[in-house]
A and B are shown apart, each in its own frame.
Chain A
Amino acid sequence: MIIKQFGALFKARTMEYVRDRGTFYWSLLFPVFLVLGLAFAFSGGDDKLFKVGVVGVQDPSVALLGMEQVQLVPYPDAAAAAERLARHQIDFMIDFTASSFAINAESSKGRLVRDLFLAQQATAPDGSGNRAVTFSETVVTGKATRYVDWLVPGVIGMNMMFSSLFGVGFVIVRYRKNGVLKRFKATPVSALNFVSAQAASRLVIVLLTSVVVFAGTNAFLHFMMRGSYVNLLLLTVLGILCMISLGLVFASRMRSEEMANGVLNIVTFPMLALSGVFFSLEGSPQILRTVSRAFPLTHFIEAARKIMLDGAGLAAIAPNLLVLGALTVVFLAIGSALFQWE
């Protein structure tokens, strides 16, 4: 009986979405255009500088460091710098603590800087007029991460957030306002069954939309994918569930669409700004970074980037998965405790 009710509610809600052409195309096309547009906008015009990562106390006699064309990026340790080097975020690194330098074998810019560096070091005296310390060479490998590779988890996460929060939160509030919920209340359907069917329908819709958006943009842009698609899918399901649960919290009581719209915007905009959708929060004030740890979107995007760009496995993204799982449970508990038909 419960399964029959669930199935019928699921079907009705899904048809409502598919037949609402405006929303349907919007939720598919908007993210595709956003990814393609931003990919185009950020494709050319990289700055002319060489970026050189430095670790440890800089030796002023190293001529490379003083060059106008070189931007220095200090790192606390060699591992952090090597990581950036592997992703082509810097072209070259010098580790003064180990007297070594490193290049990325796949970066021609890096090789150019190395040749320059070695040539300078061969002729330059050190501070006391002696020959410079010799630096040993190490090599890392790694494909260049384009902005768009980094961006796509953000855009899919953003789309997921809007579609889940508004598709569940806003729609249930509208049902409450116009009396659809009251009509369901007058039937033997339980609130739990009704809400579960709404959530399940939205989960399938958002998951399919995310897959289509990813596949659609991937066909043009060929994203870097170093991890497993299965893990990415798993993460996406959990991320959507978490967002839908958050939507249910807002859907539990509110009866005004305007109010719901306002509150959902208040929730989505900080997430949009602070969860690293379009730009990294590295270097922003600590307080913002701390706040962003509370947002489900931060954990989804972070974990998705780890899978795609670093090839992370489930163990590596376990902290993100745990936070998403815990938030989902908390949101569901609050939502079901507060829920009222009317």
Chain B
Amino acid sequence: MSDILRIEGLSKRYGSVQAVDDVSFGIPEGICFGLLGPNGAGKTTTIEIMEGITAPSAGRVLFRGQPIGKGFKAKVGIQFQSTALPEFITVKETLELFSSFYDRPRPMAEVVELCSLADILERDNQKLSGGQRQRMLLALAIIPMPEVVFLDEPTTGLDPQARRNFWDLIGRIKAERTTVILTTHYMDEAQLLCDRVAIMDRGKILDIDTPEALLAKHFRGVLIRLPYDGCCSDALSGFEGLVTRADSIELQTETLDRSLKDLLAAKVNLEGLSIHKPNLEDLFIKLTGNALRT
């Protein structure tokens, strides 16, 4: 499959801050692409350059092999991280307003259905809850029948129920074979929705691949986690693949049975031990060396 969007050598500098530092990658058509990173990693700057909203300091963005040009805005749908809506007009009126901007907008009924807006059509924009607002902003993004939808941290600040509902909506858009580009700092979200992820920190891409390939590349076996009380560092010093954190010790192993027996033999206190399969969150912590700075 060919790349619908490619960025090459992208950099963006704000004063003395290098927000994006020589980033290049391609996004195949029809997938859900996740740009993951902690706050301040450069995700929003990167995605806004791809949207054509922010001009890069260096590098270029190619849409279907061509630099993004005049018709680009009519072919993409964008949901920004924080957008106020025009005040004193209803959801329905706002949808009508945005529909008027495009030559062939998606029929209103379809937008309402896709984003579950039927119950709030007559409500004033100012009176929407967090989840309703995000659904509304998603609706604005899909009005143009976009070839690419950009979603910048669409579920930040939503309660767990609203987040799950929102994932459902993104699933419906994915089902239309629309390319979705998503930034998030929720790893469960990325794991659930994304076909391909790039992990970003301090303006650079640390790694990029399918979630499965990334996990296979960086982890083998499972993770054993123990609470850390500072007492047993000597007893543990012989173990390979050991990572000590502020409040826990993590041991990566392909031979779980053997490792557990070794721990017992070393007389390590196993109270509070947990075993889990590595996920994107573990990978993220491993790559950035940070707990998520949410």
A residues at B contact (CB < 8 Å): 1, 4-5, 7-9, 11-13, 15-17, 19-20, 175, 178-180, 182-183, 185-189, 342
Contacts and interface: CB of A to CB of B under 8 A. Distances in A.
A12 B102 contact: no
Contacts of B98: 187
Contact of B74 (A11, A20, A178, A188): A188
B140 A183 contact: yes
Given A8-B97, A15-B88, A183 B80 contact: yes
Given A20-B88, A187-B73, A4 B100 contact: yes
A189 B80 contact: no
A250 B242 CA distance: 60
5 contacts: A1-B103, A8-B96, A8-B97, A186-B78, A187-B144
B53 A183 contact: no
Where chain B touches its partner, the secondary structure class is loop
Contacts of A180: 83-86
Contact of B73 (A8, A15, A175, A188): A188
A20 B101 contact: no
Nearest to B77: A186
B96 to A, nearest CB: 7
Contact of B89 (A5, A16, A342): A16
B140 A189 contact: no
Nearest to B103: A1
A182 B87 contact: no
Where chain A touches its partner, the secondary structure class is helix
Given A19-B88, A189-B101, A342-B53, 13 more contacts: A8-B96, A8-B97, A9-B100, A15-B89, A16-B86, A175-B84, A179-B84, A182-B53, A182-B80, A183-B80, A186-B53, A187-B98, A188-B102
B82 interface: yes
B216 to A, nearest CB: 37
B29 interface: no
B87 A16 contact: yes
Contacts of A189: 101
Interface in B86-133: 86-89, 93-94, 96-98, 100-103
A12 B84 contact: no
A1 B140 CA distance: 18
B128 to A, nearest CB: 14
B201 interface: no
Contact of A12 (B74, B83, B89, B140): B89
Interface string B48-87: 0001010000000000000000000110001010111111
Given A12-B93, A186-B51, A188-B74, A5 B101 contact: yes
A15 B88 CA distance: 7
Nearest to A178: B84
Nearest to B140: A183
- A12, A175, A186 interface centre (most CB from chain B within 10 Å): A186
A178 B85 CA distance: 9
A325 to B, nearest CB: 32
A188 B82 contact: no
Contacts of B78: 183, 186
A12 B97 contact: yes
A185 B86 CA distance: 14
Nearest to A184: B101
Contacts of A15: 88-89, 93
A29 B150 CA distance: 46
Contacts of B80: 179, 182-183, 186
A183 B84 CA distance: 9
A12 B93 CA distance: 8
A342 B55 CA distance: 12
Contacts of A175: 84
A5 to B, nearest CB: 5
Nearest to B101: A187
Contacts of B144: 187
A8 B53 contact: no
Contact of B87 (A5, A7, A20): A20
Contact of B100 (A7, A16, A20, A178): A7
B43 to A, nearest CB: 17
In the A-B complex, the 9 residue pairs with the smallest Cβ-Cβ separation, listed nearest first, are: A178-B84, A8-B100, A19-B88, A179-B83, A186-B78, A16-B88, A187-B101, A188-B74, A183-B83
B294 to A, nearest CB: 22
A186 B53 CA distance: 7
Contact of A182 (B83, B86, B97, B140): B83
Contacts of B51: 186
A126 to B, nearest CB: 77
A90 to B, nearest CB: 52
A63 B86 CA distance: 72
Nearest to B82: A179
